[in-house]
Amino acid sequence: MMTSFFDQFASPSFLGIPLIAVAIALPWVLFPTPPSRWLNNRLITLQTWFITRFINQLLLPLNVGGHKWALLFASLMVFLMSINMLGLLPYTFTPTTQLSLNMGLAVPLWLATVIIGMRNQPTAALGHLLPEGTPVLLIPVLIVIETISLFIRPLALGVRLTANLTAGHLLIQLIATAIFVLLPIMPTVAVLTAAVLFLLTLLEVAVAMIQAYVFVLLLSLYLQENV
């Protein structure tokens, strides 16, 4: 058994070389590529249908200027979902459990939405810091509060994704360890615990997909305020 439950979140290495780059690049290798024929196979058709429906729902509240982000949002959604799902397999590493990776994705994308708002409509972008009809005495306090909430957004994006995936992995490992301990002592309880573990795994599959969707959805909402 591992010395610590948190050892599973350590970046693997081979000959002193971190393998996190391999874990990040692997999902792109597994994606099916469209064939040169007129008719696609079922997998390509399903993938195209899913991405199209996702982009239509995501860009529905945005104006035409925000539609330029469709390719970026679709790629980010598929990338995060693939990494999260592959991380549920045994003996695999989930890069999105690393706060550094999630913040590396959240901060530049959030900053891009803010810069776009400042460049295209600076008055409206700054107007979000002060709600209309605010009493004069509360103006300085509200400006400080709204500024802090603005800069907390990328931190919330990264921490939310990291915390949800880390908690799920830890819970699965704790229950799996309990099964191995209970199996020779109380087999019936171990079987019931295994059933709970199976249901929890299904829940984690849903969480892996939902968290990827929430990450991209919040970015689209931030973009909606600035375009």
pLDDT in tens, 24-47: 777 777 776 766 777 677 777 888
Residue 60 φ/ψ, nearest 5 degrees: -60, -45
Q: E strand or H helix at 14, and its extent? A: strand 13-14
pLDDT of amino acid 106 = 93
pLDDT band at residue 1 using 50, 70 and 90 as cut-offs: very low
Q: How many domains does the chain have?
A: 1
Q: Are 51 and 133 in contact (CB under 8 A)?
A: no
* pLDDT recorded at residue 45: 81
pLDDT of residue 5: 66
CA–CA separation, 46 and 48 (whole Å): 5
Residue from 221, 211, 224 nearest 158 by CA = 211
Instruction: Say which residues have a Cβ less than 8 Å from residue 26's Cβ, sequence separation at least 6.
Output: 86
Considering the domain boundaries, does residue 217 fall inside one? yes
Q: Which domain holds residue 200?
A: 7-226
Question: Which residue in 7, 56, 12 sits closest to 173, CA to CA?
Answer: 7
Domain annotation covers residue 187: yes
Q: How confident is the model at residue 103 (pLDDT cuts 50, 70, 90)?
A: very high
pLDDT of residue 204: 92
| pLDDT value at 219 more than 50 | yes
Asked whether residue 1 is domain-assigned, the answer is no
